[in-house]
């Protein structure tokens, strides 16, 4: 068994239980494509620097491309007796082309190889995630553009606060998600540096060209310090944080959809294709897709904690603890990609109950702040105005009335400053449109928000296209 692991020449035999315990194949099999890409770039650099002969380089490249072909055709079978995907690729290569395959590992270690593979994987994962977020933001913008006339309660502490439009509410989520996408793209810059060639810890005695390897793989530049290359997973932790923040925002959206779809709220109806029935209760329409998003996103936060805990006590440089990074980060990005995709599907199909929203907004005295502002405009200090309106609200609750339904004589019982013109500012439609400050809920302000969000969205889409095109161009050169 020991002869099938890359480090076997020093440690001797390893029994089956040890092999099973140390294997990472279940997690790092997703890195097979990236391992081959990194190996192609590495051997091309070795040939360019005359570290390997051109004949050896050609044979190795042909072998790697043949293995890649098997992978892309779904014909690549990984040997579970080999401890990881990197060993699998190297053993396959040697079986295919003979002992010359062993020359591939010249000038590199599995330590820098693993870090490179993970960075290559995360580049793709981040760009895909940002693309999914962009899709969801565009869906929210579409919903906002079609719901500007739907007035609904704005909540604080889950209590009626002030009237807003459904469009304004949708844009609040759109801006949160936009920041999530920006965070991923910011993290992308720290992912997109190349550790390959750092060796196990101190570099290599071979005259390698790390900049060439970096360029071949489409990285921005080589990493500066060989120990740093192999000892940290901050780039994975940062990506997990971005995924966790996105998860929090997705879970918040899911929670609102679940609440809004209840008979007590009735603000929305989810499409049947995103709900389920009950095995016992024939009347039920359960928001299962939203509930699963709310549930699954919690595990992403757990992935972040796992990564932080794994790294917090490690001395420089590589330690085997770091093998556990792939399980957490791959699960985190896969989960947020799936949840963001599903949230886009849900949001594109939901139907707003505009009448129910508006009727709810007419309850709860949500124009109270407008009455206080009215008194302030008449010269009353805001704190006095606040107290006067609080008294008016208590009166309305006792009399089972709304503020805008009181008679002027009743209004004057709380302040002599109140005149007939007060009734011009109390309807909730007016309350909404008067909030025309930057970021406010008026139609004009919301349209500006939609315009700004669209501009940011298009900039992110351009960035994703540019980076994806650069990576694809590099891969085409490597694959041939």
The single residue of 278, 377, 391, 469 carrying the catalytic annotation is: 278
What rounded mean pLDDT belongs to the chain?
Answer: 94
| Per-residue confidence (pLDDT) for residue 2, from 0 to 100 | 43
- Asked if residues 365 and 393 have their Cβ atoms less than 8 Å apart, the reply is yes
| Per-residue confidence (pLDDT) for residue 18, from 0 to 100 | 74
* Strand ranges, E, within 99-258: 151-156, 159-165
Over residues 445-451, mean pLDDT: 98
User: Is residue 344 predicted with pLDDT exceeding 70?
Assistant: yes
User: Is residue 19 predicted with pLDDT exceeding 80?
Assistant: no
| Per-residue confidence (pLDDT) for residue 280, from 0 to 100 | 77
Sign of CA dihedral 228, 230, 232, 236: positive
Instruction: Give CATH 1.10.275.10 domain extents, the chain.
Output: 2-106
Of 333, 326, 306, 318, the residue nearest 24 (C-alpha): 326
Using alpha carbons only, how large is the chain's radius of gyration in Å?
30
Nearby residues of 342 by Cβ (< 8 Å), 6 or more positions away: 274, 289, 292, 293
- 274 is a catalytic site residue: no
The single residue of 9, 157, 409, 437 carrying the catalytic annotation is: 157
User: Is residue 313 predicted with pLDDT exceeding 50?
Assistant: yes
- 42 is a catalytic site residue: no
Q: Does domain 2-106 have CATH number 1.10.275.10?
A: yes
Protein fold of 368-426? Ribonucleotide Reductase Protein R1; domain 1 (1.10.40)
Instruction: Give CATH 1.20.200.10 domain extents, the chain.
Output: 129-145+167-200+229-360+448-479
Per-residue pLDDT of 346-368, as tens digits, reads 999 999 999 999 999 999 999 99
**What is the percentage of the chain residues whose pLDDT exceeds 70?**
96
Over residues 280-287, mean pLDDT: 80
- Asked if residues 117 and 451 have their Cβ atoms less than 8 Å apart, the reply is no
Could you give the CA distance from residue 307 to residue 324 in angstroms, rounded to a whole number?
Answer: 8
Could you give the CA distance from residue 373 to residue 346 in angstroms, rounded to a whole number?
Answer: 39
Over residues 275-295, mean pLDDT: 86
Protein fold of 129-145+167-200+229-360+448-479? Fumarase C; Chain A, domain 2 (1.20.200)
Of 479, 446, 417, the residue nearest 172 (C-alpha): 446
Could you give the CA distance from residue 145 to residue 172 in angstroms, rounded to a whole number?
Answer: 13
Could you give the CA distance from residue 130 to residue 185 in angstroms, rounded to a whole number?
Answer: 8
Confidence of residue 8 (pLDDT cuts 50, 70, 90): low
| Per-residue confidence (pLDDT) for residue 282, from 0 to 100 | 67
| Per-residue confidence (pLDDT) for residue 10, from 0 to 100 | 53
User: Is residue 420 predicted with pLDDT exceeding 70?
Assistant: yes
Per-residue pLDDT of 392-406, as tens digits, reads 999 999 999 999 999
Instruction: Give CATH 1.10.40.30 domain extents, the chain.
Output: 368-426
């Amino acid at each position: 068994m020991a002869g099938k692991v890359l480090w076997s020449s020093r440690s001797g035999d390893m029994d089956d239980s040890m092999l099973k315990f140390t294997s990472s194949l279940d997690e790092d099999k997703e890195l097979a494509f990236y391992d081959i890409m990194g190996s192609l770039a590495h051997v091309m650099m070795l040939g360019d620097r005359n570290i390997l002969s051109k004949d050896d380089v050609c044979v190795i490249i042909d072998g790697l491309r043949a293995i890649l072909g098997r992978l892309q055709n779904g014909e690549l079978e990984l040997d579970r007796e080999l401890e990881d995907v990197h060993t699998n690729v190297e053993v396959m290569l040697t079986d295919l082309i003979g002992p010359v395959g062993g020359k591939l590992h010249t000038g590199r270690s599995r330590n820098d190889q693993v870090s490179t593979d993970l960075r290559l994987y995360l580049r793709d994962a981040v760009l895909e995630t940002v693309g999914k977020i962009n899709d969801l933001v565009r869906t929210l913008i579409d919903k906002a553009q079609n719901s500007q006339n739907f007035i609904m309660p704005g909540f604080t502490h889950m209590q009626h606060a002030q009237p807003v439009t459904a469009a304004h509410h949708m844009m609040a989520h759109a801006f949160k998600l936009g920041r999530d996408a920006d965070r991923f793209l910011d993290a992308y810059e720290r992912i997109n540096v190349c550790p390959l060639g750092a060796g196990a810890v101190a570099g290599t005695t071979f005259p390698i060209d790390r900049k060439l390897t970096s360029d071949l793989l489409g990285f921005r530049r080589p990493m500066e310090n060989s120990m740093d290359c192999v000892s940290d997973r901050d780039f994975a932790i940062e990506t997990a944080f971005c995924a966790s923040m996105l998860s929090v925002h997705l879970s918040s959206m899911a929670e609102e959809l679940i609440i809004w779809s209840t008979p007590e709220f009735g603000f929305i109806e989810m499409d049947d294709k995103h709900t389920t029935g009950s095995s016992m209760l024939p009347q039920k329409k359960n928001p299962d897709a939203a509930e699963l998003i709310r549930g699954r996103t919690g595990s992403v936060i757990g992935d972040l904690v796992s990564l932080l805990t794994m790294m917090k006590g490690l001395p420089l440089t590589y330690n085997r603890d770091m093998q556990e990074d792939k399980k957490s980060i791959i699960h985190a990005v896969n989960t947020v990609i799936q949840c963001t995709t599903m949230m886009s599907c849900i949001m594109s199909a939901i139907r707003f109950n505009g009448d129910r929203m508006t009727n709810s907004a007419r309850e709860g005295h949500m124009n109270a702040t407008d009455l206080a502002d009215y008194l302030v405009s008449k010269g009353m200090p805001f704190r006095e105005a606040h107290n006067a309106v609080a008294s008016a609200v208590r009166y309305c609750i006792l009399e089972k009335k709304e503020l805008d339904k009181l008679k002027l004589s009743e209004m004057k019982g709380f302040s002599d400053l109140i005149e007939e013109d007060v009734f011009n500012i109390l309807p909730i439609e007016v309350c909404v449109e008067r909030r025309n400050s930057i970021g406010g809920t008026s139609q004009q302000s919301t349209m500006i928000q939609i315009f700004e969000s669209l501009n940011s969205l298009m900039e992110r889409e351009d960035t994703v296209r540019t980076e994806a095109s650069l990576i694809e161009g590099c891969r085409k050169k490597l694959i041939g």
